[in-house]
Amino acid sequence: MIYPSVNNISKFFLLSLLVVAPFLTVLTSKFGFINPLLGKLLGGYKEISQVFIISVLFIGVIKNKRLSFNYYSTLLFFFAFYAILHVIGQVNLGLMFDGARYQLGYLVIFTLICIIPHAQERASINVDLLAKIVFIQTLIAVVVGVVEFFNPSIIGFLYGIDKDMMEHVTLAAGFRLISVFGNPINFGGFLCVGLAASYYLAVKKTKPLVWLAFWVYWIVLVFLVFFTLSRLALIAFFAQTILILMFNLFRREIVTKVFFITFLLVLMPFVFELLNSFDSLYERFFKLLSLETYTDNARVNNWFGALDNLHYFTNWLWGFGVGASNPALGSGGYMIENGFVSILIDFGLIGLTFYVAIWLLSFFIMFTIRKKLNNEFYFIFLFLVCFMLMSFGNDYNRNFPFVIYFWLVVSYLFTRANKYKGYQEC
């Protein structure tokens, strides 16, 4: 077994990283103006945590003198091992470092958690605790987002810079809400994760008053998602909402039925009236119904532009190396904004096959052991739907904090499946 001190250190750093994750951008900006050294320390907390967690988990491997391989963890291990080999590739040192800290580090952490006996229970975080943490964080982000909508000067207070001087916050349709994330797309994506967490907690209570509070909260969330002006976040949010309605209709939850009817008859006309009062907003979101929105999108051009550089069979098979895809302008990497294409560019068709297999196996496990997961099923399902949809237009495979949520959920599913199905260790 892993020594208790190793468990505690790993869990402490993982838990602390999850707690501060959504606020690191604000904390780094705020304290960076007060003390540049403190700002850099906060900005590097992700990397510091990764190094400590991986180090203590390796100590756990040495202490245990054995690993626990099963059908699920073996797949994850081979993907992690294959990905680590790609630190040697056709990329410069800066890109490799970015790829390691944004992508490889979390994959290695949760692979180790999967293959070290009892590490999932003793050195990691379960889905229930993750959902509760995300719910509280979403409440804070929602409060900041609402205040920002009515008084944008709060952004200047939080970040130490006026909102109109920040990047990615202005479109022809107007200013975009960013809350504590510094990025409207990440804020919209996090609100979708928050929706999954709030639904999970509501299902656990199953009281009419709780459901009423949930749907009122849903109205606030959809309002904020809308004003991030992120069409992808809005698609993910409504996809989750459709699933929630289906879940609750099957559960015969009366408050949901009343809310749904009220929304269609009363709130929907109000929403259309609101859209009509903002012509640019109306045009932006209703272009989602046009095929040209997807075929002529700059992101799609980025995908095909990156794929055009796969000149040789070895490039297609092996990829360019970890960090080859990088969304930062001027980084020297390929700006792709698609998690699956990014995996292909970094790790080739072999890596993409591993990645897709992990996705398919995660869904298979989720439905296979649904009854054993109980209410956790709802959070996991809604989160994976959000992550997958957002990945089609963003590099969520390397986007913090979403990447850490993804590998945590995958490792949780894989270890739970092994426990419930009773497969033999390899």
Identify the DSSP state of 174. Answer: E
Assess whether pLDDT exceeds 80 at residue 39: no
Q: Which residues pair with 175 in a beta bridge?
A: 170
Angle at 270 between CA 266 and CA 272, to 5 degrees: 125
Mark out the alpha helices in 85-117 (DSSP H runs).
93-99, 105-115
pLDDT at 343 > cutoff 90: yes
The C-alpha atoms of residue 224 and residue 188 are separated, in whole angstroms, by 8
Please check the confidence at residue 2 and state whether its pLDDT lies above 60.
no
What average pLDDT is seen over the chain? 83
| Residue matched to tokens 């992120």 | 230
Q: Is the Cβ–Cβ distance between 138 and 190 less than 8 Å?
A: yes
User: Is residue 426's pLDDT more than 50?
Assistant: no
Distance (Å, rounded) from C-alpha 195 to C-alpha 20? 19
pLDDT at 362 over 80: yes
- Tell me the C-alpha distance between 192 and 324, whole Å: 28
Residue 424 pLDDT greater than 50, yes or no: no
pLDDT of residue 418: 73
pLDDT computed for residue 285 by the predictor:
58
Structure tokens that stand for 334 in this block = 């390929």
Q: Which residue has the higher pLDDT, 120 or 140?
A: 140
Domain locations in the chain?
Answer: 128-292
CA distance linking residue 112 with residue 119, whole number of Å: 8
What's the pTM value of the predicted model, to 2 decimals? 0.89
CA distances from 172 to 31, 49, 362 (A): 32, 39, 40
* pLDDT at 329 (0 to 100): 66
Longest Cα–Cα distance in the chain: 66
Among the residue ranges 27-41, 42-56, 161-175, 333-347, the one predicted with the least confidence is: 161-175
- Whether the per-residue pLDDT at 423 is higher than 50: the answer is no
What pLDDT was estimated at residue 425? 43
Residue 206 reports pLDDT greater than 80: no
Residue 369: CA atoms inside 13 Å, Cβ hemisphere, count?
19
pLDDT digits (tens, 9 = 90+) for 214-242: 988 998 999 899 889 888 999 999 999 99
Q: Higher pLDDT residue, 118 or 401?
A: 401
Task: Report pLDDT for 147.
Answer: 95
pLDDT of residue 15: 92
> Which distant-in-sequence residues (6+ apart) come within 8 Å of 266 by Cβ?
none
pLDDT confidence of residue 195: 97
Let me know: does 189 contact 57? Beta carbons within 8 Å: no
Taking 80 as the threshold, does the pLDDT of residue 277 lie above it? no
Q: Cα(202)–Cα(222) distance, rounded to whole angstroms?
A: 17
Please identify which residue in the block is written with the tokens 């199905």. Answer: 421
Contact 110, 411 (CB under 8 A): yes
Backbone angles phi, psi at 332, to 5 degrees: 95, -5
Q: Which run of H or E residues covers position 296?
A: none
**Which tops the pLDDT comparison, 38 or 12?**
12
- The per-residue DSSP string of 301-341 comes to HHHHHHHTT--SHHHHHH-S-TT-B--STTSSSB----HHH
